[in-house]
Amino acid sequence: MVEPSKIEFRCGQCDRLLRVADMHRGKWLTCPSCQSDTQVPDDAESPWVEGPAEEALDSEWNPSAVSMAEIFRDTWAIYVDRLWLLLFAWLIDLIFYAAGLLFILVPAIAAGFTLGRGARVPRELVLLAIVLIATLGVITLVNVMACRHARFFLKIARGEPVSISDAMRLELRPITVLPIVFAILVGIGLMILVIPGVYIYLTLWPYIWVWADERTERQTVDAFPLSKELTRVNTGPSIGVGLVVLVGAFFGQAEIFTGTFARLLKAVAYLKMSGQPVGIQRREQPA
C-alpha cells in the first residue's frame, strides 16, 4: 500500500512503475531504470496505478553509473531555476562567516590581553594561545558551515520546497566531525607526495552528502566506505566533479557564482551516483 504522501506513475519511456513523494508533482525526475527524463503527473491521485511499484524512485540508495554530461545538465537546470535563492544563500553565508570570525577572534584576543597584562605570561605564549584558540574556532566554524551546506543544497538538488527562511537557518544540531577528519586525511595525503591526498579527495568527497542524506540514516561511521563505493562505480564523473570544484576554487573573486554552483554540482552528483532522483523544473516545449 502506498503511503498517503506518495504517488505512483509510469515512466513515459520504459513504462516502469515508479513511486515518488507527493511534493514532486509536476516536476521532472530521472527514471532509475532507463535514465530518461520523465514528468511526475500533476493531477495524479494517490495511488492511481494498479499493482505495486517495482522500486521506490525516491527511497532507494543504489550506486548507479551516470555520465558527467548528465550531472552537468541537471545541475545547470536547477542552478538557473534557483539562482536568486542561491545568491541570497551565499550572502547569508558571508554574514555567518563574518559573525563567526568575530565571535572567535574577539574572545581569543581578549583572553590573550588578559593573560599578558594580568598573569604576566610571556608574549610568545600569549600569541601561541591566541593562535590555537583562533585556529580551533575557525575549524569549528568551517565544520558547522559544511554540515549546513550539505543539508541545504541536498534539499535544493532534490527539488524539495526551500525558501529564504531555510537559507537563513543555522542548525547547530545535528553536526558531525567528519569534515575535520576529511581535511586531516587530505592534508596528510598531500604531505605524502601529494598524490595520496588527491586520491583521498577524489574518492571520498561524497562523505558529507552521505551523512546529510536521510536515506542513509545519516551515516557517520560508514560515510567514507559508502562514499568510496559511489566513486568506484563512477570513477570518471567523480574525478570530473572534483576537478571542476578545484578549478572553481582558483576563481575566488567569483565565489558568489563558482562556490554555489560547486556545492550544487556535488549535491546533484551525489544523488545521481546513488541512484536517487533529482528535482528539475523544466518549461513545457511548444508543440
The SS3 call for residue 28 is: strand
**pLDDT (0 to 100) of residue 53:** 46
Task: Look at residues 47, 59, 26 and name the one whose alpha carbon lies nearest to residue 275.
Answer: 59
Task: Look at residues 217, 153, 214, 142 and name the one whose alpha carbon lies nearest to residue 182.
Answer: 142
**pLDDT (0 to 100) of residue 287:** 37
Q: How far apart are CA 189 and CA 184, in angstroms?
A: 8
Task: Look at residues 159, 175, 143 and name the one whose alpha carbon lies nearest to residue 85.
Answer: 159
**pLDDT (0 to 100) of residue 60:** 57
Residue with cell 578545484: 246
**pLDDT (0 to 100) of residue 126:** 74
Q: How far apart are CA 42 and CA 226, in angstroms?
A: 34
The residues that bridge with 38 in the sheet, in sequence order, are 29
Q: What is the pLDDT along the chain (287 residues), one digit of tens a residue?
A: 233 357 778 888 888 888 776 666 777 777 777 767 778 887 655 554 444 444 434 445 678 889 999 999 999 999 999 999 999 999 999 999 999 989 888 887 777 777 666 666 677 777 887 888 888 888 989 899 999 999 999 999 998 888 888 888 887 777 888 999 999 999 999 898 888 999 999 999 999 999 998 777 666 878 898 899 899 989 999 999 988 887 777 665 556 677 889 899 999 999 999 888 888 754 443 33
| Model pTM score | 0.74
List strands edge to edge, sheet with 17-21. 6-10, 17-21, 55-56
The residues that bridge with 56 in the sheet, in sequence order, are 19
**pLDDT (0 to 100) of residue 264:** 93
Determine contact, residues 210/168, Cβ cutoff 8 Å. Answer: no
Q: At what angle do helices 235-249 and 68-81 cross, to 10 degrees?
A: 50
CB count in 10 Å sphere of residue 99:
12
Q: How far apart are CA 166 and CA 152, in angstroms?
A: 8
**pLDDT (0 to 100) of residue 157:** 94
**pLDDT (0 to 100) of residue 255:** 65
How much of the chain is helix, strand and coil, in % rounded to 5?
60, 5, 35
**pLDDT (0 to 100) of residue 52:** 47
Task: Look at residues 149, 158, 152 and name the one whose alpha carbon lies nearest to residue 27.
Answer: 158
**Which residues neighbour 264 within 8 Å (Cβ) at sequence distance 6 or greater?**
75, 78, 79, 86, 153, 156, 157
Give the CA count within 13 Å in the CB-facing half-sphere of 222: 8
The SS3 call for residue 55 is: strand
The residues that bridge with 21 in the sheet, in sequence order, are 6
Question: For residue 164, what are the CA distances in angstroms to 66, 73, 100, 245?
Answer: 31, 25, 20, 25
Cell of residue 27, nine digits: 516536476
Cell of residue 151, nine digits: 543539508
Q: How far apart are CA 263 and CA 156, in angstroms?
A: 11
Rounded to the nearest 10°, the torsion over CA 269, 274, 277, 282 is: 20
CB count in 10 Å sphere of residue 238:
23
Question: For residue 180, what are the CA distances in angstroms to 30, 45, 101, 103, 199?
Answer: 34, 46, 18, 20, 17
